[in-house]
Amino acid sequence: DAKTTQPNSMESNEEEPVHLPCNHSTISGTDYIHWYRQLPSQGPEYVIHGLTSNVNNRMASLAIAEDRKSSTLILHRATLRDAAVYYCILRGSNSGGSNYKLTFGKGTLLTVNP
């Protein structure tokens, strides 16, 4: 599985934007970039995913570098409820492979200060 690298932890202030980086230099052409987050004492939840173009949804934005070797999850206005571990995961699109499973790293622990 292609590997991702994320900082162990980041800190933000409430109401400010947060940019969570992820490096994935060995990404293949068919790998989607997925982000999940895990709030304290809960299971992981889906945040966003993309292939090449930047993506926006109600939770966040995903900015993907032109060479696809890195990406950034953007929370436009962090709230206390956004404090969580954020996981950047590569997931293949080919149905014949093992793209069904998610390979989690250690993620980035985001702390949001009031």
CA distance 8 to 20: 11
Phi-psi region of 6 (alpha: psi -120 to 50; beta: other; left: phi over 0): beta
Q: How many CB atoms lie within 10 A of CB 28?
A: 12
Task: Give whichever of 50 and 107 is closer to other proteins, judged by the CB atom.
Answer: 107
Residues that bind other proteins (CB under 8 A): 38, 42-46, 49, 85, 87, 95, 98-107
CB of 35 to other proteins, least distance (A): 11
Smallest distance, other proteins to C-beta of residue 102, A: 6
The tokens for 107 are 């993620």
Q: How far is the CB of 106 from other proteins (least distance, A)?
A: 6
